[in-house]
C-alpha cells in the first residue's frame, strides 16, 4: 500500500478503460480535488506490477475517526481480490500509524455483501439510501468480525457516542422521502444485513 498523489490518480484514470469503476474513480477524484484533500488526506493505493489496481479515499480526523468515502478497484481488475487486500492494509495502517479508534462509512446496497464479509454493522440509512456504519476499528478483519459478532449478541458494546446516536436516530427512512423504487432497494439491503442491522439498539434504554 502507498500514499497516492493527485498526479498518480489522474494517470490511473487516464489509462483506465471506460466503465462503472472508472466513473466511480473519476467522481472520487473530483471530490478530493474540490475539497483539497490530496495534501491533507492522500488516497491509499494498492500497486501490482507497477500499476495501481485499487484505491481508498478516506480522511483521518482528530477525534480518532477514519471516514471512508470510497474504495475502488480500477476498471478491468475486478474480481481479483485487490480491494480486500487493500482493505486489510488500510485497517492495519489506520490503527497502527494513524491511531484511529473508530471507522465511519456509508455502504451502498451493491457493496453490502463485501462490507459484511469485513465485519461491519449498520445503524441507519443516509440520504442516498446507503447504510451507515459507525464502529470500532481493529487491525485485522478477524478481529473486526469477532467484534461484530459480539455486537450482535450485546449491541450495547457497539453503540456509538450519544451525539452520534442522536443524529442517527433522527435520520429516519421516512424522513428521506425516497421514491418507491429506492425504498424497496433500501429495505432489501436492510433485510440482507439481517442481524448486522442494529438500529433498534439506538432506542434501547
Q: What is the pLDDT of residues 39-92, one digit of tens each?
A: 999 999 999 999 999 999 999 998 999 999 999 999 999 999 999 999 999 999
Contact 135, 103 (CB under 8 A): yes
Kind of pairing, strands 65-73 and 102-107? parallel
Q: Residues 72, 150: one domain?
A: no
Q: Residues 79, 144: one domain?
A: no
Residue with more model confidence, 62 or 137: 137
- At 36 the three-state DSSP class reads coil
Contact 28, 66 (CB under 8 A): no
pLDDT band for position 204 (cuts 50, 70, 90)? confident
Q: What is the mean pLDDT of residues 24-46?
A: 97
Kind of pairing, strands 51-60 and 102-107? unpaired
Q: Residues 142, 178: one domain?
A: yes
- The three-point CA angle 138-84-136 to 5° equals 20
Q: Tell me, rounded to whole angstroms, the distance of Cα 185 from its chain centroid.
A: 19
Confidence check: pLDDT of 205 > 90: no
Confidence check: pLDDT of 117 > 80: yes
- Taking the CA atoms of 162, 95, 140 and 70 in sequence, report the sign of the dihedral they define: positive
Q: What is the mean pLDDT of residues 166-173?
A: 94
For residue 51, CA distances in Å to 12, 39, 75 come to: 8, 22, 12
Q: Over the stretch 170-188, which tens digit does the pLDDT of each residue have?
A: 999 999 999 999 999 999 9
How many domains are there within the chain? Answer: 2
Predicted pLDDT of residue 62: 87
Q: Residues 75, 136: one domain?
A: no
In a domain, 70, yes or no: yes
Which of 46, 70, 100 lies at the terminal end of a domain, its last residue? 100
For residue 201, CA distances in Å to 66, 117, 118, 137, 198 come to: 23, 22, 21, 19, 6
Round the average pLDDT of the chain to a whole number and report it: 96
Predicted pLDDT of residue 9: 98
Q: What is the DSSP letter of 64?
A: S
Look up the domain containing 187 and give its range. Answer: 122-205
Integer Cα distance of 66 and 59 in angstroms: 6
> What CATH number did the domain enclosing 5 receive?
3.40.630.30
Closest of 86, 20, 93, 31 to residue 56, by C-alpha: 86
Q: Residues 88, 145: one domain?
A: no
Amino acid at each position: 500500500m502507498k500514499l497516492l498523489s493527485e498526479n498518480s490518480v489522474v494517470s490511473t484514470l487516464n489509462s483506465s478503460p471506460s466503465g462503472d469503476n472508472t466513473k466511480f474513480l473519476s467522481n472520487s477524484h473530483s471530490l478530493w480535488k474540490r475539497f483539497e484533500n490530496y495534501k491533507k488526506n492522500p488516497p491509499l493505493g494498492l500497486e501490482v506490477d507497477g500499476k495501481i489496481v485499487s484505491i481508498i479515499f478516506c480522511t483521518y480526523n482528530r477525534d480518532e475517526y477514519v471516514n471512508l468515502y470510497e474504495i475502488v478497484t480500477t476498471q478491468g481488475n475486478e474480481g481479483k481480490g485487490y480491494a480486500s487486500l487493500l482493505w486489510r492494509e488500510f485497517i492495519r495502517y489506520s490503527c497502527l500509524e494513524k491511531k484511529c479508534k473508530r471507522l465511519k462509512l456509508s455502504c451502498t446496497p451493491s457493496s453490502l455483501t463485501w462490507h459484511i464479509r469485513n465485519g461491519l454493522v449498520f445503524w441507519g440509512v443516509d440520504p442516498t439510501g446507503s447504510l451507515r456504519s459507525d464502529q470500532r476499528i481493529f487491525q485485522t478483519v478477524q478481529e473486526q468480525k469477532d467484534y461484530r459478532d459480539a455486537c450482535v449478541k450485546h449491541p450495547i458494546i457497539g453503540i456509538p457516542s450519544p451525539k452520534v446516536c442522536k443524529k442517527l436516530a433522527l435520520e429516519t427512512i421516512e424522513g428521506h422521502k425516497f421514491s418507491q423504487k429506492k425504498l424497496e432497494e433500501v429495505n432489501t439491503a436492510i433485510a440482507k444485513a439481517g442481524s448486522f442491522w442494529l438500529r433498534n439498539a439506538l432506542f434501547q434504554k
